[in-house]
Amino acid sequence: MSTEAVPAVADTAVLLDARNVTMQFGGLRAVNDVSLQVRTGEIVGLIGPNGAGKTTFFNCLTGLYQPTTGSVFFDAAPLPAKPRLAVRAGMARTFQNIRLFHNMTAIENVMVGMYCRTKTNAIDAVFRLPRHRREEVESTRRAKELLDFVGLSGSGDTLSRNLPYGDQRRLEIARALATDPKLLLLDEPTAGMNPQETRQAEDLIFRIRDLGLAVLVIEHDMRFIFNLCDRVACLVRGEVLVEGPGAVVQNDPRVIEAYIGSPATQDGSGDA
């Protein structure tokens, strides 16, 4: 990852282009005709009440789901609906529920993320041929570098299950960065964190952006999301309710109503 200055977002190319994505499960339409763009070096937030379809939309973007209709383009090319191909194309993600290998150390978890970029095959590994040894040395060096970057220096030999909760969140981000992505998708990265850990997560995401990556983040902490993002989209009942700069979105009456309800709903006089 380069440390060169990132150009202004308005001058950069569209990296992710989701067009009219719909995801239907039987009679339930979880995502309905959602379009969203993310540019290189941009941080975009995706908010909405529980059940709004945010994680389902993430799954459509990353190949876990094949959208019922619509298309996803990444770096100007159609994105195949297979997670491993999405990762190879340059898209990495974390999950709402932490998915680490709990019986592996922190450094081993990060090295797993590099597998998609290595050329070692089973024969190389079994007989420890020169290519395998070279890549193992380089992967170890890179994994230590990423652990340092996310604030986990000195934790490389610790089993991931023994790390504090906030550190496990950071470890999952380090593993995603190990795939050498262009776009990082974060699903509720501050869930369960205390205020200090949340501030550290915000700082980390800014530093990731400063390396030239784009970030798309789902989050329920409104202060966090509006401080962080260049642009925010609010999803309600599977549809984009409003999209724009954080200052515009957070003051939109429709967004406020989606989160806290209308006065009629609050006093019980509204429709069921």
Same-domain status, 150 and 124 = yes
Tell me which residues of the chain have a pLDDT lower than 50.
Answer: 1-8, 263-272
From 179, 206, 240, the end of a domain falls on 179
Same domain, 66 and 106: no
The sheet carrying 14-25 orders its strands as 28-39, 14-25, 69-74, 77-78
CA nearest neighbour of 219 among 234, 206, 209, 204? 234
Q: What is the CATH number of the domain that holds 241?
A: 3.40.50.300
Strand-pairing partners, residue 91, are 183
Model pLDDT for residues 104-139, shown as the tens digit of each residue: 999 999 999 987 766 665 665 655 667 656 778 888
Residue 4, domain extent: 1-90+181-272
Total domains present in the chain: 2
Residue 96 maps to a domain = no
pLDDT in the model for residue 131: 64
Same domain for 137 and 271?
no
Task: Provide the pLDDT for residue 258.
Answer: 84
End position of a domain, from candidates 147, 163, 179: 179
- Verify that 197 and 264 share a domain, yes or no: yes
Residues 193 and 234 in one domain: yes
